[in-house]
Structure 1
């Protein structure tokens, strides 16, 4: 079964908008687990505009499911990951002030850099994942770095899905087949939602994990968090 990792960044954004501790990010994370989430994802950025580094340290001893930390591998980020030792680290090529991830790695150009990081995190016992697009060459070079998994950047799929689901999913199916052939695990994330997730999962049955935050938290405003997580889990059966 494909696992659902809930990205709680947007919960932290809401908290930070007013200061204080409402909503309580730690409680929401634990509630997500209690409601059926298979993991929790955080993406701390340098300006700490949502998840703060302190949140990451506070979450680690409390979580009972898988903990995934994603972000650009700056020195501060690398130090954080090595100290916290999550189950998985997902590397994204975000610039410091970027609003959200909008592309996968150029793994060919950055192969040496990424290979060193795979070695560093692997020696610490942390599963590694690299954020990539569907280009075969980028996936092949991700495999050359020694990454355990790749996470497919699914915004192009989500954007085209309403107009042409078959065309939207086709390049991702081919990419997923290549990932499997190369012996890596497969994650996916970005703009996956209750509208498009089930179709994606039906066409890529060997998908290991999806990481979903923005759409899930938006849905929770109407459905409630428990019901929303249940609905997303149903999409992954």
Structure 2
């Protein structure tokens, strides 16, 4: 199982939000590229990037910060937030991103997801962010009536590389991941699933690894910044 260290970008800085609330942001590093290099030095295999401002604006906002990360590291990176048209997808992939994450577009423009997955095999993921099992869009500001599992199943034959499932109520709260919901989603589809939200200890990572659902990976942010999880130790444990 792959551990994806998270770098959430707000106003050009690496931050963590509490349950997706932009007014409850903690700045952990004024230099996101330096933060990325710290994670790479610890041995991470991937980086998970989110343009928080972009998610609300519907277009890239923290592009300069992402560009610096891509120019200073060779580690594969995936990015979500404000990616809602083919031109933006192409632009990011041409800049060296390994994978783009489509969240709001998966709800509002599923044909875009399918087209992108066809055009860029292995480089398009779907982000499913849920509150109480219902999908949220536009920076988590709008909660739909769509069940997370139902949305995931719509892309079963689309060729997407992964589904990133985030339980919003757990995100940044350091209360542990929603293992039951994540495992249920992973069991409902054949698409690789990456768990996100609430991972706050090595015990949480091991529980996800051993939940029986064969998760592709897990994303962690605040616990790495707070020192609750040592990245090198976690990577070693997940390789066993």
Q: So what's the TM-score if we normalise by structure 1? A: 0.67
Distance in 1, Cα, partners of 2:163 & 2:115: 16
d(CA) in 1 for partners of 2:152 and 2:73? 31
Following superposition, the deviation at residue 82 of structure 1 comes to: 3.1
Q: What corresponds to 1:144 in structure 2?
A: 157
Residue ranges of structure 2 left out of the alignment (5+ in a row): 16-28, 134-147
4+ runs deviating over 4 angstroms: 156-163
Aligned length: 202
* Per-residue deviation, 1:213: 2.0
Distance, in Å, in 1 between the alignment partners of 2:98 and 2:172 is 30
SS of the residue 2:120 aligns to: helix
Structure 1 unpaired stretches of 5+? 16-21, 95-104
- Structure possessing the higher radius of gyration over alpha carbons: 1
- Is 1:9 aligned to residue 17 of structure 2? no
Deviations along 1:5-27, one digit per CA (max 9) or x if unpaired, are 21122695369xxxxxx743222
Separation of aligned partners in 1, 2:197 and 2:5: 12
Look up the match of 2:103: 92
Q: Which has the higher helix share?
A: 1
Structure 1 match to 2:25:
none
Q: Does 1:67 align with 2:63?
A: no
The 5 Å alignment of 1:99-110 reads 105-106=106-107, 110=109
**Structure 1 or 2: more strand by fraction:** 2
Q: Contact 1:69–1:90 at 8 Å: present in 2 too? A: yes
Query: Following TM superposition, by how much is the alpha carbon of 1:150 offset from its aligned partner in structure 2, in angstroms?
Result: 1.1
Aligned-residue RMSD, C-alpha:
3.7
Residue aligning to 1:57: 67
Instruction: Give yes or no for the alignment of 1:115 onto 2:114.
Output: yes
